[in-house]
Each structure stands twice: as structure tokens, then as C-alpha cells.
Amino acid sequence: MSRPRFVTVLTHARPDETVTALRQLADVATASGATLRLDAEETRKHPKTHPAILGNAELIDDVELCVTLGGDGTILRGLRAYARTSVPVFAVNFGEVGFLATVEPEDLPESFTLALSRDFDLLPLPAICIGPSDAREIAINDISIQRKVGDRVAELSYAIGGEEVGSVRADGLVVATPAGSTGYNLANGGPVMAWGVEGMVVSFIAPHSLSARALVIAPADVLTLHNRSQRALDFSIDGRPAGEIAPGASVDARFVQNVATLAQMHGSSFYRRLREKFGRLSR
């Protein structure tokens, strides 16, 4: 007896935009002998049944693929769900930018046929490990530290390998992976890091200084961020609130290789994607 084939599906918060794509994926799954697994949240968004869809299914690691229908937030949810596993994430862009997506909705359903045939390349993605080296909390894109709304400007310092490198008064700062460098970091004026580059980049949110400059951290170095403010600062992971950093407290950030896997269509290029999503870097 052949082994059952399962595919996890995650979608964004506007189901009317993804219902057609989900039906196309289900039709392809039927033809390929696969079952689509939708957890309770996804089942509430997509209650209509299809023979290839298993609703209210627990999120499990024993699947061939995770397909996301959404923007970068949905893609990051899939990458985080299957971090430290061998399950690749195949992402269809239903968002504004969708920099991590490998195909657009107009490429369907043909791209689904390739996906369920595993006719794609695999791109391993690094992450930022937060806390000690054996910590489970990770960021695929970035972490950010920000002053609370209405509070005074934040005072932050940062050390590398235990040695303080700089301090700054700013609304906050962002630490990004290469995959995340085209997000919040880019909006801060930080450098774009091509996929495959190793290391993290630190950029500042509205710095109150003309000398604050983004800094790329070598992959083996531990970055320590200190809250020198008199009030707690908000802490976010991949754009999601993750708690606070108390006055005088600090957090460590470490670069970790090969944490998640992104499925890419053959011939996909980071630089072509950069041009198509953001336009030419110079004129």
C-alpha cells in the first residue's frame, strides 16, 4: 500500500480572494492522489468541502509540502510552522508585495501541478535565534525593538561578542536576516542582502542622530541589544508582538543557517525578483 500524501494549506485573512486558488489546488491534489489538510482556523475560513480536503486537521510535520496562499505574513507563518523540518513552503502571492512568494495567481493552476510533483528547487533559509544558542524562538525575517506609542525616544546600545559597539537614541531598531532585509530594514534605509549572504543587518528606526548607520554582523558573532531607556520597550518577531524588554534588560540574537525551506520554481532569481517587486535600484 502506498504511503498517504498530505499537504498543509495556509491562507491569509481574506478567504474570498483565495477560494478559487484553493479549489484549483484541491482539483490538482485529487489528480495526484494527495490530501489537503486545513486546520480549524483554515476550515472556518473555507468551510465548503472538496473530496481532496481534510478539514479541522491538526498541524503535523508528516506532510510533503506546505502551500501558502497570501502575502509575506502568511508565508512567514508557514516557514515558522515548518522551521527545523524538511517540509518546503510553496508560496503563492495574494499580498501586496509577496517578496518571498514563488508564483503569482495568474500562474495557477499549472504551478500547483509542478508543486505537487515536487518539480521545484529548494532554497534553505537562515533565521535569527533569540536568546541562548539552544533557544527555540526564531525569526525568519527580523526582530524589532520599539518605543511604546506615546513614550519618549528609546535609548539603545548594542554589543558584538560582549564588546559594546555603539549606542543610539531612536524610535527603535531592527535586526534582519538576508530574507528579511527587503522588509522593515529596507524601509529604514538598511542595505539589501542577497539570499545566500550570511549574517544579520542592524538598522535604526528614526534615529535621532546623523551618525547612526546600518551595520552587517558576521554570522558567527552574537549580537546583544540593551535597553538603556527608563521604560520598557516593545519587542516583535517577524512583525508579531512578542513581549517587552524591561529597562536595563538585554536580548541576544544569533544567526542560524538552514532553519526553513522555501520552494522555488526552476530558474527563479533573487535579483530578478528584486527588480520586479521594487523596480530598478538605480536609474
Q: What is the set of active-site residues?
A: 72
Rounded to the nearest 10°, the torsion over CA 65, 71, 74, 80 is: 70
In contact, 60 and 54? CB cutoff 8 Å: no
In contact, 61 and 89? CB cutoff 8 Å: no
The number of C-alpha atoms within 13 Å of 271 and in the hemisphere containing its C-beta is 1
Per DSSP, 96 falls in state: S
Distances (CA, A) of 246 to 4, 145, 194, 230, 265: 49, 11, 34, 9, 44
Q: How many angstroms separate the CA atoms of 267 and 270, rounded?
A: 10
- Residue 47, SS3 per DSSP: coil
